[in-house]
Amino acid sequence: MIIYNTTFSVPTELQNKFLDFIRNEYIPLSTQNHVMKEPRLTRVFSKDDNGDASYALEFKSDTIEALEEWNKTVGRKLYFLITTRFGQNIQGFATLLQPIDL
């Protein structure tokens, strides 16, 4: 199991529009082919957020190979969708994580 996490920095004035977009468009498009599963959205707290809010959106995927294929097709479309909607106002970076048994 692989966790795909994207952390977004969102200006205060765009938070409500961004959250509506993530809930109503981004997540449904991300999960429609069933490669990305179990979406989870969390707020990231930081001392130096400069007034912006940060949100982490994570999905689970069965394999890195499936995730890479998803990223070439669906992920690319989502990137263009978010930049079309918000321009350069929303910044994000992705991290791949692998759970380790304790």
Domain boundaries, the chain: 2-97
pLDDT tier, 49 (very low <50, low <70, confident <90, very high otherwise): low
Residue in the block written with tokens 């994000």: 92
Q: What is the 3-state secondary structure (H, E, C) of 42-95?
A: EEECCCCCCCCEEEEEEEEECCHHHHHHHHHHHHHHHHHHHHHHHCCCCEEEEE
Q: What is the mean pLDDT of residues 51-59?
A: 92
Would you say 9 and 92 are in contact if contact means Cβ atoms under 8 Å apart?
yes
Residue in the block written with tokens 């918000």: 86
Q: Is the pTM of this model over 0.75?
A: yes
Q: Tell me which CATH code domain 2-97 carries.
A: 3.30.70.100
Q: What is the mean pLDDT of residues 42-57?
A: 85
